[in-house]
Amino acid sequence: MTTKTTKAPAKAKKLDLPRLERLAAEIAPFEKGGDKTDLLARLETEEGLKVKAAKGVTTVTMAGIEAKSPRGLEEALYLWGNKARRAVNAGAVA
């Protein structure tokens, strides 16, 4: 008799909720416009922000959260902030 082996489900990655809250608060003032040049430079160098653009979709990844938008970097960063706030409010595990 042959037994099938199954993979254990991947462990959920715990998010650093205080960090997410801080980053979302830093991004919030820029969600309605403004020059984000300094903010983006700081997030990339100090917080590990990764930005990818492919097939008309911009993806931002930072602190274990990823957000995608077909409307560009500004919208993707706005969506990232929303996801981070939702994770903090839920006390989430990604």
19-38 average pLDDT score: 92
78: in domain: yes
2: in domain: no
7: in domain: no
The two three-digit tokens of residue 36, written as one number: 């984000």
Q: Is the pLDDT of residue 13 over 90?
A: no
61: in domain: yes
- pLDDT bracket for residue 94 (50, 70, 90): very low
> Is residue 94 within 8 Å of 87, Cβ to Cβ?
yes
6: in domain: no
42: in domain: yes
52-80 average pLDDT score: 97
1: in domain: no
Q: Which domain holds residue 26?
A: 17-90
Which pLDDT does position 4 carry in this prediction?
75
Q: How many domains does the chain have?
A: 1
